[in-house]
Structure 1
Protein backbone atom coordinates (compact mmCIF):
# COMPACT_ATOMS: atom_id res chain seq x y z
CA UNK A 1 0.00 0.00 0.00
CA UNK A 2 1.41 3.37 -1.02
CA UNK A 3 1.06 5.82 1.86
CA UNK A 4 0.60 9.36 0.62
CA UNK A 5 0.04 12.33 2.92
CA UNK A 6 -3.75 12.21 2.33
CA UNK A 7 -3.75 8.46 3.04
CA UNK A 8 -1.74 9.07 6.21
CA UNK A 9 -4.30 11.68 7.32
CA UNK A 10 -7.14 9.21 6.85
CA UNK A 11 -5.29 6.43 8.66
CA UNK A 12 -4.43 8.76 11.54
CA UNK A 13 -8.07 9.85 11.81
CA UNK A 14 -9.28 6.24 11.79
CA UNK A 15 -6.69 5.27 14.40
CA UNK A 16 -7.98 7.85 16.89
CA UNK A 17 -10.83 5.37 17.52
CA UNK A 18 -9.95 2.19 15.62
CA UNK A 19 -13.11 0.34 16.72
CA UNK A 20 -15.49 3.19 15.87
CA UNK A 21 -17.57 3.47 12.72
CA UNK A 22 -16.75 6.65 10.80
CA UNK A 23 -18.64 8.09 7.85
CA UNK A 24 -17.43 10.15 4.91
CA UNK A 25 -18.42 13.66 6.00
CA UNK A 26 -16.92 13.08 9.44
CA UNK A 27 -13.65 11.91 7.83
CA UNK A 28 -13.64 14.88 5.43
CA UNK A 29 -13.98 17.26 8.38
CA UNK A 30 -11.29 15.58 10.49
CA UNK A 31 -8.76 15.24 7.63
CA UNK A 32 -9.47 18.40 5.65
CA UNK A 33 -9.78 16.32 2.48
CA UNK A 34 -12.41 16.82 -0.20
CA UNK A 35 -14.69 13.96 -1.20
CA UNK A 36 -12.86 13.56 -4.51
CA UNK A 37 -9.68 12.70 -2.59
CA UNK A 38 -11.24 10.87 0.35
CA UNK A 39 -13.43 8.28 -1.33
CA UNK A 40 -10.86 6.87 -3.77
CA UNK A 41 -8.47 6.37 -0.85
CA UNK A 42 -11.18 4.70 1.24
CA UNK A 43 -11.89 2.41 -1.71
CA UNK A 44 -8.20 1.47 -2.06
CA UNK A 45 -7.93 0.80 1.69
CA UNK A 46 -11.01 -1.39 1.49
CA UNK A 47 -9.64 -3.33 -1.50
CA UNK A 48 -6.37 -3.87 0.40
CA UNK A 49 -8.31 -5.35 3.34
CA UNK A 50 -7.37 -2.53 5.71
CA UNK A 51 -10.90 -1.16 5.91
CA UNK A 52 -14.38 -2.59 6.08
CA UNK A 53 -17.51 -0.71 5.06
CA UNK A 54 -21.19 -1.14 5.77
CA UNK A 55 -24.36 0.79 5.20
CA UNK A 56 -26.21 2.25 8.16
CA UNK A 57 -29.44 0.40 8.85
CA UNK A 58 -32.02 3.20 8.99
CA UNK A 59 -35.23 4.20 7.27
CA UNK A 60 -34.13 7.27 5.27
CA UNK A 61 -37.65 8.71 5.14
CA UNK A 62 -38.06 8.40 8.92
CA UNK A 63 -34.62 9.92 9.57
CA UNK A 64 -34.98 12.63 6.94
CA UNK A 65 -31.56 11.83 5.45
CA UNK A 66 -29.92 9.10 3.39
CA UNK A 67 -28.23 6.15 5.06
CA UNK A 68 -24.55 6.68 5.80
CA UNK A 69 -21.77 4.37 4.70
CA UNK A 70 -19.63 3.57 7.72
CA UNK A 71 -15.95 2.73 7.57
CA UNK A 72 -13.83 0.97 10.17
CA UNK A 73 -10.29 -0.39 10.20
CA UNK A 74 -10.04 -4.18 10.17
CA UNK A 75 -7.83 -5.67 12.90
CA UNK A 76 -5.08 -6.24 10.32
CA UNK A 77 -5.73 -2.78 8.90
CA UNK A 78 -5.16 -1.17 12.30
CA UNK A 79 -1.84 -3.01 12.68
CA UNK A 80 -0.81 -2.10 9.12
CA UNK A 81 -1.88 1.53 9.59
CA UNK A 82 0.17 1.93 12.78
CA UNK A 83 3.19 0.36 11.08
CA UNK A 84 2.81 2.49 7.93
CA UNK A 85 2.53 5.72 9.95
CA UNK A 86 5.55 4.76 12.07
CA UNK A 87 7.56 4.10 8.90
CA UNK A 88 6.45 7.42 7.42
CA UNK A 89 7.47 9.20 10.62
CA UNK A 90 10.87 7.50 10.52
CA UNK A 91 11.37 8.39 6.85
CA UNK A 92 10.57 12.05 7.44
CA UNK A 93 12.52 12.55 10.65
CA UNK A 94 15.88 14.28 10.78
CA UNK A 95 18.69 11.90 11.77
CA UNK A 96 20.02 12.77 15.21
CA UNK A 97 17.20 15.21 15.99
CA UNK A 98 15.36 14.97 19.29
CA UNK A 99 11.79 13.74 18.71
CA UNK A 100 9.37 16.64 18.79
CA UNK A 101 12.01 19.20 17.80
CA UNK A 102 10.79 21.36 14.91
CA UNK A 103 12.60 21.01 11.62
CA UNK A 104 14.55 24.27 11.07
CA UNK A 105 14.00 23.95 7.31
CA UNK A 106 10.24 24.42 7.86
Structure 2
Protein backbone atom coordinates (compact mmCIF):
# COMPACT_ATOMS: atom_id res chain seq x y z
CA UNK A 1 0.00 0.00 0.00
CA UNK A 2 1.42 3.37 -0.99
CA UNK A 3 2.15 5.65 1.96
CA UNK A 4 0.35 8.97 1.52
CA UNK A 5 -0.59 11.72 3.94
CA UNK A 6 -4.24 10.77 3.55
CA UNK A 7 -3.54 7.11 4.36
CA UNK A 8 -1.53 8.08 7.44
CA UNK A 9 -4.31 10.39 8.64
CA UNK A 10 -6.96 7.69 8.15
CA UNK A 11 -4.74 5.02 9.74
CA UNK A 12 -4.23 7.25 12.78
CA UNK A 13 -7.99 7.60 13.24
CA UNK A 14 -8.71 3.90 12.63
CA UNK A 15 -6.07 2.84 15.14
CA UNK A 16 -7.32 5.34 17.74
CA UNK A 17 -10.25 2.90 18.20
CA UNK A 18 -8.97 -0.36 16.69
CA UNK A 19 -11.92 -2.54 17.68
CA UNK A 20 -14.72 -0.11 16.88
CA UNK A 21 -16.99 0.46 13.92
CA UNK A 22 -15.99 3.43 11.79
CA UNK A 23 -18.49 5.26 9.60
CA UNK A 24 -17.19 7.00 6.48
CA UNK A 25 -18.53 10.49 7.11
CA UNK A 26 -17.25 10.74 10.69
CA UNK A 27 -13.95 9.13 9.70
CA UNK A 28 -13.50 11.72 6.93
CA UNK A 29 -14.16 14.55 9.37
CA UNK A 30 -11.84 13.22 12.09
CA UNK A 31 -9.03 12.44 9.63
CA UNK A 32 -9.46 15.65 7.65
CA UNK A 33 -9.70 13.76 4.35
CA UNK A 34 -12.14 14.54 1.53
CA UNK A 35 -14.72 11.86 0.75
CA UNK A 36 -13.43 11.59 -2.83
CA UNK A 37 -10.11 10.44 -1.40
CA UNK A 38 -11.46 8.47 1.55
CA UNK A 39 -13.93 6.08 -0.08
CA UNK A 40 -11.57 4.75 -2.79
CA UNK A 41 -8.95 4.28 -0.05
CA UNK A 42 -11.42 2.37 2.13
CA UNK A 43 -12.31 0.17 -0.86
CA UNK A 44 -8.60 -0.63 -1.38
CA UNK A 45 -8.19 -1.44 2.33
CA UNK A 46 -11.21 -3.77 2.18
CA UNK A 47 -9.81 -5.45 -0.97
CA UNK A 48 -6.44 -5.89 0.78
CA UNK A 49 -8.15 -7.57 3.75
CA UNK A 50 -7.16 -4.82 6.19
CA UNK A 51 -10.77 -3.74 6.76
CA UNK A 52 -14.13 -5.44 6.67
CA UNK A 53 -17.32 -3.58 5.89
CA UNK A 54 -21.00 -4.00 6.56
CA UNK A 55 -24.27 -2.16 6.92
CA UNK A 56 -25.90 -0.85 10.05
CA UNK A 57 -28.96 -2.87 11.14
CA UNK A 58 -31.98 -0.86 9.94
CA UNK A 59 -34.09 -2.02 12.90
CA UNK A 60 -31.77 -0.20 15.32
CA UNK A 61 -32.01 3.21 13.63
CA UNK A 62 -33.99 5.71 15.70
CA UNK A 63 -34.36 8.59 13.26
CA UNK A 64 -35.51 8.53 9.67
CA UNK A 65 -32.33 7.92 7.72
CA UNK A 66 -30.94 5.10 5.62
CA UNK A 67 -28.53 2.56 7.16
CA UNK A 68 -24.88 3.60 7.21
CA UNK A 69 -21.99 1.53 5.96
CA UNK A 70 -19.33 0.81 8.56
CA UNK A 71 -15.73 -0.35 8.45
CA UNK A 72 -13.83 -2.42 11.00
CA UNK A 73 -10.12 -3.17 11.21
CA UNK A 74 -9.06 -6.78 10.78
CA UNK A 75 -6.17 -8.21 12.79
CA UNK A 76 -4.00 -7.99 9.67
CA UNK A 77 -5.11 -4.39 9.17
CA UNK A 78 -4.12 -3.47 12.71
CA UNK A 79 -0.65 -4.94 12.17
CA UNK A 80 -0.11 -3.53 8.68
CA UNK A 81 -1.46 -0.03 9.33
CA UNK A 82 0.42 0.08 12.63
CA UNK A 83 3.59 -0.87 10.76
CA UNK A 84 3.01 1.82 8.14
CA UNK A 85 2.50 4.44 10.85
CA UNK A 86 5.66 3.32 12.61
CA UNK A 87 7.64 3.67 9.36
CA UNK A 88 6.08 7.08 8.70
CA UNK A 89 7.20 8.38 12.10
CA UNK A 90 10.80 8.39 10.90
CA UNK A 91 9.99 9.59 7.36
CA UNK A 92 10.63 13.31 6.76
CA UNK A 93 7.69 13.49 4.32
CA UNK A 94 5.28 13.00 7.23
CA UNK A 95 6.85 15.55 9.57
CA UNK A 96 3.65 17.65 9.53
CA UNK A 97 1.63 14.71 10.88
CA UNK A 98 3.90 14.00 13.85
CA UNK A 99 1.95 16.31 16.19
CA UNK A 100 -1.14 14.11 15.65
CA UNK A 101 0.83 11.04 16.77
CA UNK A 102 1.92 12.33 20.15
* TM surpasses 0.5: yes
CA contact (8 A) 2:50 2:78 kept: yes
Q: Normalized per residue, which structure has more helix?
A: 2
Gaps of at least 5 residues in structure 2 are: 94-98
Quote how far apart the aligned CAs of 1:60 are: 9.0
CA contact (8 A) 2:53 2:72 kept: yes
Report the structure number with the largest CA radius of gyration: 1
Gaps of at least 5 residues in structure 1 are: 94-99, 101-106
Q: RMSD between aligned alpha carbons?
A: 2.2
Quote how far apart the aligned CAs of 1:62 are: 6.1
Which TM-score applies when normalising by structure 2? 0.84
Residues 61 and 46 from structure 1, CA distance in 2 versus in 1: closer, same or farther, beyond 3 angstroms?
closer
CA contact (8 A) 1:60 1:67 kept: no
Which TM-score applies when normalising by structure 1? 0.81
Structure 2 residue aligned with 1:96? none
> Could you tell me how far apart the structure 1 residues matched to 2:27 and 2:61 are?
24
Structure 1 residue aligned with 2:51? 51
> Runs of 4+ in structure 1 displaced over 4 angstroms?
59-62
Structure 2 residue aligned with 1:74? 74
Structure 1 stretch displaced more, 55-64 or 21-30: 55-64
